[in-house]
Amino acid sequence: MNESSENKEVTYIDDDIKTLDWWEHIRRRPGMYIGKLGDGTYADDGIYVLLKEVLDNAIDEYMMGYGKTIDIRIEEGVVTIRDYGRGIPLGKVVDASSKMNTGGKYDSKAFKKSVGLNGVGIKAVNALSSYMLVQSFRDGETKRVEYNRAQILESPPLEFTTEANGTLVNFIPDEEIFEDYRYKDEYVETLLKNYVFLNSGLTIVYNGKKFYSKNGLVDLLNENMTTDALYPIIHLQGEDIEIVLTHANQYGEEYYSFVNGQHTTQGGTHQSAFRETVSRVIKEYYNKNFDYADIRSGIIAAISIKVEEPVFESQTKTKLGSKDMSPGGVSVIKFIGDFIKRELDNYLHKNAETSEVMLKKILDSEKERKAIAGVTKLARERAKKANLHNKKLRDCRLHYTDTKGERLEDTCIFITEGDSASGSITQSRDPNYQAVFSLRGKPLNTFGLTKKIVYENEEFNLLQAALNIEDGLESLRYNKVIIATDADVDGMHIRLLIITFFLQFFPDLIKNNHVFILQTPLFRVRNKKETIYCYSEEERLEAIRKLSPNPEITRFKGLGEISPGEFKHFIGKDVRLDPVTMKKQDAVKEMLEFYMGKNTMERQNFIISNLVVEEDV
């Protein structure tokens, strides 16, 4: 340090202390309020959180017994939500939509189990929207206020109205924050289905399409199951709790958990308590020393509870951290445990046929587990001894350090094939959050095989160990599992083999939206001033028109041809990922039988009849 820098004084004056308006704070730190931003490509992108925050207020009105219908329209990015509840008190419309810590949910017992963010949610929407209208209809009068980025544009006095009571909210997400955003119907509809499953009798109309559920969580399970239930769904309800469960002939465990209507995709206290208690009650009912893993193998279940003033582990409320049902009240674990012990035990005693089918499923799982017990033990030992960090797995630094407070949702692992491809990704990645797992050649086709093969096959054994999913998803080490293979025939085949492996043995990994396909460019079009990477033929033609005349065109035949310097553009903040999803209409067994089974001629005829020949570039 030189003398001038040593003598330089650092000033600290009044001007250094800045107080941000509430809306400035939200706009500068939107992630604190709505999680990641995104553009609508993924279900947890910010624009869906904005929609949900407004909807939560309408749902709260329904839960209080006011208004059985909610109308929603989304057209060209403009969102309109109309509920038929009581309407915001007319003198508080401005305060409720533009003053922090103002809401009806603080001291009112009626709102103790609400789903909305107390006094924050609609303000966040306001701050992050280029335009918002809030209008309340109440007993023949109406009050409206219009905003531009939380600044009042217009706030006329009360007017008379013939409209039914309720609240209308219209907003446009700010394109300065959500660039080129687009709402996807499939994500919006999934969100709305969950709302009606959790609120039997509620009708939501979205762009003219009606959503309604009569049977609550039973309908939710039927909507999401991709294999047949082995016995009728067990449906148990009590005050502040509803559970459903069944078994199917599949591996893994599948849970859907909710707190006060919020889908807790990462589980939490309630889901762990449910999982543990169900296993213990079933074990005690049969009075046999069953392994919990055998009881839970193939289970498909959902739980919804209502908690006073829930504590979540993140602002986006995807994981419950509460241990109490209410301040100073009964613990979540005891509440769930007592309910399941009483109700599930009674149900099994009263329904002998269901009990018999469940017992057979548990015994079958036990039989298979014991048959591979020796192989499993050896495989675990091999996985521990294998020098994963130098051979198959190049881990991310997050897993070497204290993860408290770290962005676990940002972690991902790329599954690659070939030294050149894995080398390019390894050199291009963010080593803090991105890991790389290298396959050696084409993996085994696991369709129709038992789980024993997972432990006998080195590739799959080490992949399972790297992901840490042998005993379920609760210890999954990466939020995103990204399949990164070439876009040629061999690469597509490897991709299909990996997906088959997950579908066969870890379907919950896909159903919980953890598996993705990495998109990489097919073409590079450049001239001396600009380079454009193209992911389709249409993008290539557009780039040629833009960079004409005679730009240089490169066709990437494999990931290994893309230099590390270029690759960093494709796995950074602008990474393009296609989610691998499963829906009710996906007949998984039949689909795998067709694509991965032994019906060679049938599949060959299908490929020939659907063949598209690509012209040389």
pLDDT exceeding 70 applies to what percent of the chain? 80
What's the rounded mean pLDDT across residues 458-462? 84
> What is the residue whose two structure tokens read 């054994």?
461
509-550 pLDDT, tens digit each: 888 889 999 988 889 899 988 999 888 889 999 999 999 888
Average pLDDT over residues 41-53: 87
> SS3 of 36, please?
coil
Give the pLDDT band of residue 85 (cuts 50, 70, 90): very high
CB 272 within 8 A of CB 285: no
Specify the pLDDT at position 15: 55
Question: What amino acid is encoded at 127 in this protein?
Answer: A
More confident residue, 105 or 451: 451
In 279-422, beta strands by DSSP E: 299-305, 393-394, 412-417
CA angle 59, 267, 379 (to 5 degrees): 155
Q: How many Å apart are CA 441 and CA 201, to the nearest integer?
A: 53
Is the confidence at residue 440, as pLDDT, over 90?
Answer: no
Check residue 229 and give its pLDDT: 93
Query: Contact at 8 Å (CB) between 134 and 84?
Result: no
Residue among 429, 348, 438 at smallest CA distance from 387: 438
Average pLDDT over residues 10-21: 56
Confidence at residue 311, expressed as pLDDT on a 0 to 100 scale:
66
Angle between helices 373-385 and 352-371 (to 10 degrees): 50
Most confident of the following: 104-118, 246-260, 403-417? 246-260
254 vs 267: CA distance, rounded Å: 11
According to CATH, what is the number of the domain 388-520+564-609? Answer: 3.40.50.670
What is the bridge-based pairing of β-strands 69-75 and 203-206? Answer: parallel
pLDDT band per the 50, 70, 90 thresholds, residue 210: very high
Least confident range of 156-160, 203-207, 375-379: 375-379
- Give the residue range(s) of CATH 3.30.565.10 domains in the chain: 22-212
> How far is it, in rounded angstroms, from Cα 266 to Cα 264?
5
Q: Dihedrals φ, ψ of 17, to 5°?
A: -95, 115
pLDDT tens digits along 290-330: 999 899 999 999 999 888 766 666 555 666 665 665 545 66
pLDDT at 6 over 60: no
Chain Cα centroid distance, residue 434: 19
Q: Using the 8-state DSSP alphabet, how is residue 9 labeled? A: P
pLDDT at 1 > cutoff 70 = no
CA contacts within 13 A on the Cβ side of 90: 14
Residue with more model confidence, 437 or 226: 437
d(CA 109, CA 308): 9
Question: DSSP readout, 518-552?
Answer: E---SEEEE-SS-EEEESSHHHHHHHHHHH-SS-E
Q: Which residue has the higher pLDDT, 327 or 493?
A: 493
417 versus 487: which is more confidently predicted?
A: 417
Q: Measured between alpha carbons, how far is 499 from 494 in angstroms, rounded to an integer?
A: 9
> Any idea which of 70-79, 242-251, 377-386, 478-487 has the lowest mean pLDDT?
377-386
- Structure confidence at residue 357 (pLDDT): 96
- Residue 419 CA from chain centroid, whole number: 31
Compute CA 144 distance to the chain's CA centroid, rounded to the nearest angstrom: 35
- What pLDDT is stored for residue 445 in this prediction? 85
Residue 163 scores a pLDDT above 90: yes
**What is the model's pLDDT at position 42?**
81
> Residue 471, Cα to own-chain centre: how many angstroms?
20
For residue 541, which amino acid is it? Answer: L
476 pLDDT band, cuts 50/70/90, is confident
Neighbours of 365 (CB within 10 A): 21
pLDDT tens digits, residue range 356-394? Answer: 999 999 999 999 888 877 777 777 676 666 545 446 788
Give mean pLDDT, residues 590-607. Answer: 58
Q: Of the CATH numbers 3.40.109.10, 3.30.230.10, 3.80.30.20, 3.40.50.150, which one belongs to the domain with range 217-371?
A: 3.30.230.10
Closest to 149 in 3D by CA, of 170, 168, 174: 174
Burial class (CB in 10 A: 0-12, 13-18, 19+), 157: exposed
Q: Say which CATH class 22-212 falls into.
A: alpha beta
Q: Which residue has the higher pLDDT, 442 or 69?
A: 69
pLDDT single digits (tens) 166-184: 999 999 999 988 888 999 9
Q: Are strands 515-518 and 480-484 parallel, antiparallel or unpaired?
A: parallel
Q: What is the pLDDT at residue 218?
A: 95
Return the amino acid letter for 543.
A
**Higher per-residue confidence, 284 vs 327:** 284
φ and ψ at residue 160, rounded to 5 degrees: -80, 155
Domain with CATH 3.40.50.670 in the chain: 388-520+564-609
Which of 340, 335, 267 minimizes the C-alpha distance to 307? 335
Contact 183, 40 (CB under 8 A): yes
Does 242 score more than 50 pLDDT? yes
Residue 435 has pLDDT above 70, yes or no: yes
Task: Check if the beta carbon of residue 203 is closer than 8 Å to that of residue 211.
Answer: yes
Q: What is the mean pLDDT of residues 588-604?
A: 59
| pLDDT at site 487 | 74
**Percent of the chain at pLDDT exceeding 90:** 35
The residue assigned the tokens 């070939």 is 418
The confidence band for 247, taking pLDDT boundaries of 50, 70 and 90, is very high
Strand 552-555: give its sheet, edge to edge: 531-534, 523-526, 552-555
Q: Is cis: bond before 579, omega within 30 of 0?
A: no
- Give the per-residue pLDDT at 245: 95
Helices 600-609 & 588-596 angle (0-180, nearest 10): 90
Q: Specify burial of residue 292 (Cβ count, 10 A radius: 0-12, 13-18, 19+).
A: middle
Strands 299-305 and 254-259: parallel
Q: How far apart are CA 45 and CA 359, in angstroms?
A: 42
* 3-state DSSP assignment of residue 205: strand
226: confidence class by pLDDT, cuts 50, 70, 90: confident
Q: According to the model, what pLDDT value does residue 261 have? A: 79
Rounded mean pLDDT of the chain? 81
| pLDDT value, residue 606 | 53
Residue 570 has a pLDDT of 85
pLDDT value at residue 109: 46
Closest CA to 177 of 80, 315, 19, 40: 40
Predicted pLDDT of residue 95: 86
The confidence band for 400, taking pLDDT boundaries of 50, 70 and 90, is very low
Token pair, residue 557, equals: 């035949």
Closest CA to 309 of 109, 18, 541: 109
What strand order describes the sheet that includes 393-394? 393-394, 434-439, 412-417, 480-484, 515-518, 577-579
What's the mean pLDDT in 429-449?
A: 86
Residue 402 has pLDDT above 60, yes or no: no
Q: pTM score, two decimals?
A: 0.76
Q: Measuring CA to CA, which residue among 242, 243, 244, 220 is closest to residue 231?
A: 244
The pLDDT score that the predictor gives to residue 513 is 84
Structure-token match 């675990």, residue found: 380
- The model's confidence at residue 582, banded by pLDDT at 50, 70 and 90, is confident
Q: Which of 228, 216, 361, 213 is nearest to 302 (CA)?
A: 216
Delimiting residues of CATH 3.30.230.10 domain(s) in the chain: 217-371
Residue of 373 and 225 predicted with greater confidence: 225
pLDDT of residue 20: 66
